[in-house]
Each structure stands twice: as structure tokens, then as C-alpha cells.
Structure 1
């Protein structure tokens, strides 16, 4: 690190957020380092960075979540600092602490002890109580026994939310509607917490039936200055996953938004927190509120959690304040003092962010299982911002989350943003991969959303699924299957020496294909041929050979979190056979009919592809 700040930053992430951070670094005159897994060797963030390092195989636990591999890449590259983006290791206080202790490398984010205080929800609730921030009734100590869940439900009423200490975005959260669900849901929440956050500790909260999700963007420096940059409304959610975010909220009066913003500042100050973060609140919606009415200053709002990192939807705040949050993350880590006072923060106009996920909304938002961007022509024009990493011709990487881009639209007011959003989404031309663009177009004509009276439960409980089917049929594209005889000739090579990536351009049109494996095997300085994967059902693996019984196969690519049955067990229709993690969500694989387990073809921790054999029932 030079006297003027960082010279080189490693971005410990992938995809559009990695590119977003790298762009901020470039504008600050800082070189960038990418890390990538085997699945991401042709990723857009790798193309954008000044240099790149391979940190392991496709499975996130063996690459993007490998603490030692990430820090080693930073030290080998000579990076001064590590920026984690969001997801993966961004809220891992243990990893942040390791970076703080590493020689020559600095953490761009909150201090690890502050991350631990606010990242673990029970500690965060205690801090917020001390700062006089309203909190939802809940526990401040971890919960271990189903009886504790039942006792809480008896006292405060059902439903009860069981939440993972390290969770967020709905991951690691289970809802208990009655006492007889307590044991199963507690076990499931603890399992998700362990799988996603290396922490199986959980706590309880009263589950609000119809809240709005309001979050406040904050940034704080090491000199004690704390600023909030206004709020974002993230109430349009599906299964606790945000779909469209906007700012400012169409539902809040100015008095209420000021109360919520100041509560966020008090809580962050109490936690001795630095760098960027988001304080999330649940706001009680008035179900009888008329279009055009807003929620007054006496409306109840409750602290939900603190995200100790940059958020997916930070772009909304940047568009309405003109403040580059990522640059300020870097500057604060370099020791700079915030250059603006709270009164200098001015919210101008309105903005919305549309997550462009590779999902089929008409098929219960099922993620795409493959494909390539045969056409990728994003929209442009005034008030349109694209945050992406993929380009036309790129293959879809399905090992991680389903987001392929973010479209952010801004304008003078919400009405203009809605009309501009319609125009931009209609311009967005993607072929080869199914996306949620038709769903977004539907929502911009949805009366409940357009009038700003939707809650976090609207999509799951009230929106007619047939309307989504109609939108998909009208505006959607399907994943195109490649022709069986399609021949692809590679002329661009990637070589790794001691884990560092180098690119060699040997492109030639019309020449015969090169046997890349043979070439690599004969080149001691390049990558070695990748061994064939012996997946479930492959006789060469010594695993599941063909069986005569009912075969239960994986419906999507993912990782086996838990196997609930063994060979010889008798199961009934609807019994959970195993749990498959895919796209950061836990999915139960159930028996469609009763029988005896003849073969279990997978084990805990195994990676599977769509169609792989999981269980055979007789």
C-alpha cells in the first residue's frame, strides 16, 4: 500500500459484483486481481481484471469459500487489500479476521469484531435494544430445543420464525405455524445455518404477517462519522428473495423515513461500526391504505438485521444520491474521512433495480440448468444503468446463483421510472437462456405494485400464477438446446502457471479443432487435462449401477446437504429422502410413492448434475 492508498485490490467474488468493484478500483487508479473457480475460468470478471488466479474446483466450498486459497492468491499477487463483494465470504467475520492478521493485506469492510457483533442476529438485537431501536419480539440467546420454540409460540403466538445467526436473504430461516412443526423446522434451520454460514446457531422472532421490507444504506468512517444515504424498499420478494428494489420507498411519509434513518444511525454508532452496511427493518403495512396514502410517523417499524457488506441493490442508492458507495468503501478502508455531512445527502428522483435472473417465473422460478447467451443486447438510453459481467456467446454457469445482470432505471419520479422500466425491459434482448424479464414487465403493469401497496407476502400469497404464465408466453424466451452435431473449435487458450492465469490468443477460423487435453498433457507449463467426472449412476465410479426399481433423479444441479434414508429403509409417499442445495436454497427431495430403498447413490457433500441418479426405490 502506497502513501496515497491501495495499489492493487483482490476481489474475492465473481460475476457482476466483482466487475462493479473492479470498475470503482479502475476509476481510483487501483489495479485489480480476480479469483475464479474451474467453472468460472471464462467468466466476465476474469476478463475484466488485470490478473487472475485459480482458487479451486467448481464447488464454492472448495474455491470461493476457501479462506486460505483466497488469502494466498492475494499475497502471491501482491494485492494490498481484499474486497469481498456480497455473498460468499462477505459477511464471514472469521475470514475478515484472517485477512486482518495476514501480512501485507487489508480488509475492505467492517472490522471483524464489528461484523461478529452485528452479523450474529442475537448480538445485533442486543445492540439495537441498547441504542433504543425498536425490535421484533424474539430471543436474544441461541435456541437448541423444540420445546423452546413451542414455549415462544405459546407466549407470542404463531407463526414463529426460526432464523440462522449468520443468515440473510431468507436463507437459514424457517417458519413454524404450529407446535407440531417445531422439531422439523428447527433441525432444518440449524442445518441450513451450518451449510451456508458455518454456524448452526439459531434464534426466534415473532413472524409478521404483512410487513414491508425497508432498508437503510449507511456508511461510517474510522473517525466516528456515520451517515445514512436514505432508504430502499425491497418489499417485492419471492420466498424471502428480493426481486425488484427501489428507492425511496413509495409507502413512507417523510417523517417516518427520517425516524427509520436516524434509528439506523443510532444502531450503527452503538456497534462501533465502520465502512458500508445496511440496516434492515420491517414496517407494518396498513392493509386499508388507499392509493396515494403514505404511512405516517406513528407506524410501527422493527429492526430486522444488519448486512455487514455491500448489498445487491446498492445501485439504487447510488442513482438517487450520486454517491459511489463502493469507492467510499475503499476510501474508508484506506483511512479517509467521509467528505460529506448528513445534511449534504440529498435524495433526487427515484430508481428501481430489476434482478435479471436466469429463471423461469412460469415454472415456479426454476433456475435455468444450462445454455448460452446466443443474443445479449442490453438496453440503453437516459436513466438506464446495466451492471453485468456476461457477454454475448458466454455460457451460463449454473454452479452458483442465478443472477446474470442487474438493470437499474432512474428518473425524476416513480411514474417516470415505471414507464422507463417498461421501455428498457422491452429493449432487453436475450436469447438462449430463459430469464425473469417477462415477470418484471408484468409487475410494471400490476395494480398493487404500481400503487406501492405490496408487501413481502404479495408474490407468494396473492399474485395469480396464471398471470405469470401469460407473461412468460407473451414475452419469454426459452433455453435453446444445442444441435447434436454442433462443432466448436477453440482458438483461445488459458494457461495457469503456479495457479496464476495467463491468456494466449491463437484464434484461427476454419482450422481443424485442436485436442486441448492432449496438448495440455504434453505441456508441462500449462493446465493438465481435467479428469472425467464419475457422477452418480456412472458404473466407473463404483457407485450406482443401473437398477430395476423406481429411480429418483436430481431435478437440478446442486450439492447434497443431507441423506435421510439408507438401503433397506421403508418409505412412504411424501417422505423426504435427502436434501439438495441448489442456487443457495435448500430443496427437499421426496418420494413420489412408497417403497423400500434399494440403493442410495449419493452421500452428504456430493455434487450432482441434473438427471443424476440419487435413490432407487423398489
Structure 2
């Protein structure tokens, strides 16, 4: 087993991996950006190293800086978690070329299966059914139009290196193709360093089923049951559960075997997830999808999944520990027949978002953070009361996983756990989750991937937010807290200094940190990051000021001073917590001034454009 593992990630997944390491007697190394100097994962690790400024492209996506941090720390393995560089084959190869071990599939396997078009070819060769689509990346909007004319609308444009709904754009008509093509390319480049996209037929009302795989270097391939991830908004998962409430045992076994067969044919090892879409076009007398239902391979996620916790609760198998053991060349300690599913489990993503405002990202300070407990309740997080939630990264701040002996008990226990979850100071989607637990379609297990976007009445979400969301923002932002924990950086390495001061006045924390309990004292080293930029909110021009409604990064600016715009025209695109948000003109007129700059970070309230 390894002696020290660097976790190339942040937030709750970084802490999740570190906890597994700790139980195995393995030391941990964190990497962090300037925005995460006081973040939970940096606090938890045995050592922590600064790898750059807040912008992910300059820190968590800087493979060279992360490998250098690992070498500086003397780590002998790198675990990528999920997101960021977790599915980047070039980064995996960089680690493989170092003295450290990559905790994941080989870079060659990642390249083969991580690129969606080559994965589709691989699965087709293994007799795994695939959704009709292009076998190679598309180079132009005209190619997408040609495919759509033949296959029919809607079609899905997908980032070749994507996952988790990033870089996925659904096109309903030819008029949308050009803009959505460019948007998918931008997201692919921003999140996966790969702007290539492909296109496939979009299934409008499927179930989203995924199978957890774990395989070792000795030819052993196991599946650990399936998960149902059909409750989504904008093609991003919100609630995941297992086993699926929609499948018969026969269809379940057929899908699981297809995943195992695909992994075996691809010589895949370590953890991974094979995702499928199941057409919801007919059910048996029990209301379940049977063997006659078509299912199609969607993609392989060559990493641990956000929702791996569901499979862990059902089987008792610690998937992260198995990842580490497989990477250390150990053989899997269980046979396929040893894998038994016990009960039912549901994972709720606790996102800092306002569901009543189309799930807009939220920022703030966790004035109160009081998670639930009790039998069957698991909470994966990296937060503590007083921490700041910024807009630099993904909006998920925690995961609540609930287990019950059956689905009915799991739903009842989930209602109790969510009602107990006390958060003040920031808006979350907990009210939305509570709504779903009283929703007839969800509780009956009849929802599909388009249920939230097309069928659920938005007024019900508004009512849930009003009913259960009031307490979330009741925190007192003006409360002064004496801070006695200091963070010091020496040559980019993070140290915590705990001082015992008697009668000292409160110490004001510097801006930009992720923790409200710590004063930052920084000794900049040769690669100690830099200014992440910031939009000036000052404007001397007269007219209507169009301001940023949230903290984020300007992806592109569509107008110049002197341009004429109409109401609804997109002035610029603001990325916040991995979501693109169009900033539009409220009325027609002339652009007097443009203060937004592509690639620049902005704060809520910053002036972006001035209209006459």
C-alpha cells in the first residue's frame, strides 16, 4: 500500500478520499487554489500545497503544478476524485511518467473510453447497444444539420471529453445549431480541455441507469449493482438512488451484464461507471420496464462518480479503498456472487442554488450548518459552520445519503433527515428535495430525465422554497467572530497556526478565502499564484447599467460600444459554478459602454454593460 497520496481535487470528494486513506494508514496531501486557502479539504489533509489562483484553469486544471506539488510532498500516488482532471488522459499520463502511481484506469484506457466517440465504437464491438449518432467528432454546424435532417430533432451535441451534463446541448431546431455548437465547444474546452464535440439522437423521455464497475490488474471485473439517475435538470443529476425503482430484475441483470462485458472487452481496470439510457415506452403489469425495453450505452465515466455512495450503502463495499488497493496491484477480495444489494439508498446533492430561480447559483456564509444524523444517514462534506461559499467552482456543497430496508422506508427516513438539516446564511436546494419526497411521480418511481424540465409545475418549486427555504438565509451577516486560527504559507505549502490570545480584539479575515474562521498570513513563494482578476464595477457612462447577478467568469462578450441591441439580445455570457448564464438586454438601444472582459472574474453587482 502507498505511504502518501495526493488528492488532485477539492471539496467533499477530496475529504472522502482522504478519509479512506486515513483508514488505510496512508498520509494525505491536498492541493488548493487561492480561493480555497481555508477550505475544508485543505484543513483536513496532512499537508496542503498552493497550486495557483482561483480560476480553475490556473490551479485545479494545471496538471504540471499538481504533479510538482506531489513530487515536492513526496507523494507516491495521485487520486483525482471526480471533475477537473479526473478524466484527463494527458494528466493521467503525466502522473504515470512521474514517480507516482495513478489511482485510476490507464491513460490509454481513459483516452479510448473517455472520448465518447471511440467509446461508442468500443462498446459496439462488444455487442453493447449504442444510441444512434456520429462515430467521429463533428467539425462544423453543417455536419450537425445534416445528421439532424436524417435522424430527426431533437439531437444532442456533446463534448467528446465531457460528463456530468457539461458540454451537452440539446437542439430542437436548425436555428439553434450554430449557437449550441459553439457553446458545447466552449464548455468542453473549459471543463475538459477538449473542444471536440459529436452528435447523437436525443432520447426525449428515457430512464438514466448506470452500473458501477470495479476491476483489477489480474483480470477480475465486477459490477456493484446499478443506480437510477433519472431525476435531472438541464441534463445534470440532482437525486440518485439504487436499485432502480423502474426495472424488472431481468432487465436489471441484462444491463449489468452489458456493463461488465464492455469493461472486460476494453481491458478496463480500477473504478468506472457505464451509463445507459432506457426507453420508457411500455411497462409490464407491475409498472416496471421489462426485457422488451430498449437500452443504449451512453458513456463511460473513467473515474469515481459523485453518486458512488449509493452503491457503497447498498453493498458495504468501500469503492475508494478498492481503488487504492487496485492501484497498488492488489487483487479484488470478492467474487461477483459475493456482491449482494441490501435495502435501498438515495443520494441528495446539497447544492448552493435557488431552485425557485431556475436553480441559480448562490453564494454566502454558512452562519448555521447543522447536518442531520441517526441510523441510515450519511453526510459527505468538507464544510464547517462559518465557511464561505464562493462562486468559483461547482455549486454542490455536500451530499446527503440515506439508506432504508426498502424504498418506502428510505423515503420516510429521507423526509426526516432533510427536515433536520439546518442551514442558515445561504440558499440551497433542500426545499426542492423536500418537495420531491412529496411528489407523486418521484415517490412512485415514474419520473424520467425530462420530468423536472418539462413536467413539474414551477409554481410548486416556488411554494416549496417559500415554505422551507426561509430559515436558510436568516443568518446574521454582521456578527463579529474572534478568529484565533491562522494560515501561513511558506514556499506555497500551507500550515495552520493556532494561537491562544486572551482579551485580543477580533481579527478581520482577509477577503477571498473560503473559511470565515481563519486569518490568512501569506508568504508568497516563486509560484504562489497571482491576481485572479476582477471586474471594475465603476462606470462613468450615463445610462442603464447591466450588472452581474452572481459571482463568476465572463466567457465571452457579444457587443461593443456603439452597437444597437434589441430586447432579449445576449450581451455577454457569464459562467458561474460550471453553468453558463446569458446576460441579456432588458430593452433595445445603443451600447454606451462595455466594462466586461472575456476571461475576467466578476462579483455580484459589477457593471458589465451600459445601455442608453
**TM-score above 0.5:** yes
Paired residue for 2:467?
Answer: 474
Q: Whole-Å Cα distance in 2 between the matches of residues 73 and 522 of structure 1?
A: 20
Instruction: Identify unmatched segments of 5+ residues in structure 1.
Output: 540-544
Q: Secondary structure at the match of 2:347?
A: strand
Query: Does residue 203 of the first structure (1) align with residue 202 of the second (2)?
Result: no
Structure 1 residues 289 and 586: CA distance shift in structure 2, 3 A: farther
What is the match of residue 139 of structure 1? 134
Q: Deviations over 1:119-146 (max 9, x none)?
A: 1110010001100000010001111122
Whether the aligned pair in 2 keeps the contact of 1:369 and 1:610 (CA below 8 Å) is no
Counterpart residue number, 2:380: 387
Deviates more, 1:568-577 or 1:123-132: 568-577
**1:551-577 deviation digits (Å, cap 9, x = unpaired):** 111111111111122222222222221
Are 1:377 and 2:375 counterparts? no
| CA spacing shift, 1:351–1:524, aligned 2, 3 Å | closer
Secondary structure of residue in 1 paired with 2:262: helix
Is 2:226 aligned against 1:231? yes
Mean Cα deviation higher: 72-81 or 595-604: 595-604
Instruction: Say whether residues 1:333 and 2:327 are aligned partners.
Output: yes
Q: Equivalent of 2:158, from 157, 163, 169?
A: 163
Q: Could you tell me the TM-score, scaled by structure 1's length? A: 0.94
Question: Which residue, 466, 473, 496 being the options, matches 1:503?
Answer: 496
Post-superposition shift, 1:63? Answer: 1.1
Q: Distance in 2 between matches of 1:388 and 1:32?
A: 17
Seen in structure 2, the aligned counterparts of structure 1 residues 27 and 523 have a Cα distance that, compared at 3 Å, is closer
* Structure 1 equivalent of residue 454 of structure 2: 461
1:542 is aligned to none
Partner of 2:473, secondary structure, is coil
Work out the CA distance in 1 between the residues paired with 2:181 and 2:400.
37
Relative to structure 1, the CA distance from residue 483 to residue 100 in structure 2 (aligned partners, 3 Å threshold; closer, same or farther) is closer
Which secondary structure state, in structure 2, belongs to the residue aligned with residue 400 of structure 1?
A: coil
Distance verdict in 2 for CA 1:17–1:529, change over 3 Å:
closer
Counterpart contact for 2:574–2:582, Cα < 8 Å = yes
1:115 aligns with 2:110: yes
Match of 1:321 among 307, 315, 318: 315
After TM superposition, the structure 1 = structure 2 runs for residues 8-87 of structure 1, keeping only pairs within 5 Å, are 8-87=4-83
Aligned residues: 603
Rounded Cα–Cα distance in structure 2 between residues aligned with 1:522 and 1:332: 40
Task: Indicate how the Cα distance of structure 1 residues 526 and 117 shifts in structure 2: closer, same or farther if over 3 A, else same.
Answer: closer
Alpha-carbon spacing, 1:460–1:91, altered in 2? closer, same or farther (3 Å)? same
Find out whether 1:440 has 2:433 as its counterpart: yes
What's the CA shift for 1:530? 10
Q: Give the alignment of 1:186-335 within 5 angstroms.
A: 186-286=181-281, 292-335=286-329
Equivalent runs, 1:341-352 vs 2, <5 Å: 341-352=335-346
Partners of 2:304 and 2:520 in 1: CA distance: 42
TM-score scaled by length of structure 2:
0.94
Shift, 1:483, TM fit: 4.9
Cα distance change, pair 393–483 in 1 and its aligned pair in 2 (3 A): closer
User: Displacement of 1:369 after TM fit?
Assistant: 2.3
2:90 maps to 1:94: yes
Deviations 1:50-82 (A, max 9, x none): 111111111111111111111111011111011
| Change beyond 3 A, Cα 1:531–1:332 | closer
CA distance in 2, matches of 1:181, 1:232: 33
Q: Secondary structure at the match of 1:185?
A: helix
Secondary structure in 2 aligned to 1:399?
coil
> Could you say if the C-alpha distance between residues 492 and 151 of structure 1 is closer, same or farther in structure 2, counting changes exceeding 3 Å?
same
Q: Go from structure 1 to structure 2 and tell me whether the alpha carbon gap of 1:88 and 1:267 turns closer, same or farther (over 3 Å shift).
A: same
1:531–1:91 CA distance, 2 compared to 1 (3 A): closer
3-state SS of 1:280 partner: strand
Q: Which has the higher contact order (CA 8 A, sep 6+)?
A: 2
* C-alpha distance 351-595 of structure 1, shift in aligned 2 (>3 A): same
For the 8 Å contact 2:570–2:582, the answer to whether it is kept is yes
Cα 1:193/1:515, change in 2 over 3 Å: closer
Partner of 1:535: 534
* Structure 1 residue aligned with 2:513: none
Displacement after TM superposition at 1:522 (Å): 10
Cα 1:523/1:49, change in 2 over 3 Å: closer
How many angstroms apart in 2 are the aligned matches of 1:181 and 1:155? Answer: 17
Deviations 1:402-442 (A, max 9, x none): 11211111111101100111111111111222111111111
Q: 1:595 to 1:522 in 2, by over 3 A?
A: closer
Q: Is the 8 A contact 1:537 1:546 kept in 2?
A: no
Offset at residue 524 of structure 1 (A)? 6.5
| RMSD of equivalent CA atoms | 2.2
CA displacement 1:502-561 (0-9 Å, x = unmatched): 1111143541245888xx99997999999998733356xxxxx32102211111111111
Q: Would you say 1:404 and 2:400 are equivalent positions?
A: no
